[in-house]
Structure 1
Amino acid sequence: MTGKDAAGNAVTKTATVSSTPNDLYLAARAVYPTVSSAAVQNWSIVLNALTQSPTLQVNFTSAGSGVTVPAGFTLPFQDASGNTYTGMTGAPIPSSVVTATENALKAKVSGSAYNNWYLAHYTDPNGNYDQNATTTALANVVALAGGNLLGTSNKYTAQYDYQGVVSFSCPSLIDFGSHLISGSTQNLTGSMKDSNNNPQGVVVNDARAIPTNGSLSWTMSVAQTKDITSTSVLGLSFSDSMLTFNGTPMTLNNPVTVGSDNASTTGKITTVLPANSTAFKLSAPTALQVPGAKYQGEVTWILQSAP
């Protein structure tokens, strides 16, 4: 503000009156304590927009037992050279700045300390996030906030959730044993074993954290991926459907569901098949009961998970 004091001397001062910014008289009193309501003063007022420097706060959701949660951090919005972006209140945030800031975040979380963490969503300064976006992008929430520098908070947030690992153990061998030639079709039961020939079940271990606004699920299946053929006598092979799982015929490369869980939780261990399971059956016709014939095939265990 510029004006004259009580003695008529020209005075220039700067002040901010946050309580009543639209009241000229109180503003004048804040700058010139001697001004009274009856005083006659000539004032020129210059209004300058405040500068803003938006930031991106990065948070990590707490995870399951034994998982080290990375410390959160703050990134300034920046240009492609890493220079902090500052603009006037109300000015559009350049798309190049948004892109450079997101690239800086990706570079920051590329280290091994952030393995198994994934970006759940961004939020704007008002705590909103774009639930309808097909991709998770900082540009979505910048647009959601109007695309301009706000006069209040310009703090955006990136929320990371722990993906973790869902793993499983399964048999290395399904052993149908050695049998005498009977002269009639034999129905054989497979024993599931590990590499040391010990009984082995199918167990799923879910070490993922439940994601923000989501749930955990998985499905286990098994597929016959190689025909059961003789390794000692040429031309002998079991046909499709002679191998079954829980009564379901198995055909080449067509998975059969073993088990699933649509409401899994962090740290949950599920026995899908016990070690003494009798799920695998093999029908051995007389034509394949040949002296000295040994047979070998292959099945593949498949674990699909979401998210």
Structure 2
Amino acid sequence: MKHVYAQWIAACLLFIAALPAQAELSAADRQEITRQVERWNHYLNGEQNATGSDLYAAQVQWFGQPLASDAVLNKQHDFQTRTPQFSQRIISTLDIVDDEAGQVLVEFVKQAGVDGKQVKNYPAQLMFKKEAGGWRISGETDLLTRLNQKDTAVEGRVAKGKFDGVNKDIVWLSARDPQNGGSCDMDGDCQCSVWSSNPAIQPAILPQCIGGGVQVLSQLDDSGRDRVVIFPEWWTSAWRVVYVYDIQQGQWIKAIPSFPMNTNMQEEDDAATLVKRDPQHSGNVLVKKALWDEKQEDIITPQNSEALQVLK
């Protein structure tokens, strides 16, 4: 399959801490990292008594730039001086994941803008490392910035499109355990939220999803709306459920019913192969599904014409 599910941690943050492998994060470590994220948020909001001291590691990969901590603080101070109306807030739970090198990736959604205008949702990412004084931020970025920087490691994780036919937004998935809002593991459940950078659009929820790829299709009809095709991942099995969404009347809408594919049989299939404009029927698309045929005792992949859903 032509999706790129990059292991972005090693590729995106050029700084790799030379730390020995360590045990799984303790509850105390998680609590400290969570407090550091909260302190970081207070600091960027310019809240009274919030300082950047003890936030950053000596060296930081800051939005693609390797900088010393003092340089990061100076840049943030200059930004706060120029734009005192800036504010941000964290609007999702934290996904805290450690790696074998002792670093910790924290992913969450933040909402940010200046004076309540031009506010957007951002898929934020902070990397932490443990120093003598405690956990410190060693990397700071977001998927939108990395997409604009043409970072190939995020290819397939985030995409741009005019999903309502007018406004260009970005779309991405975030996976969480629905019981506790934290990271997913094989012993529990997991679901994905389909996020838009437009803060007025509430996320759509996909069950049995631990992440996955997103691709954009244009000109499936004459509405001007792009469609996002979502390929959720799961722990096991080559069978997948594919979703196709657009935005209508201020909400994510299933453009067509979700349908099955099999990654063993359809390794080379991408969004453009699975869903095509039907030249014979206006407002319809040809959908390639994977189905088990009892007579042939094999998987078949017929194409059927289906109408794109339009809200009245």
TM-score band, normalised by shorter chain: under 0.3
Name the structure where strand makes up a greater proportion of residues: 2
TM score, norm. by length of structure 2: 0.24
Name the structure where helix makes up a greater proportion of residues: 2
Structure whose alpha-carbon radius of gyration is higher: 1
Instruction: Compare relative contact order (CA 8 Å, sep 6+) and give the higher one, 1 or 2.
Output: 1
TM score, norm. by length of structure 1: 0.24
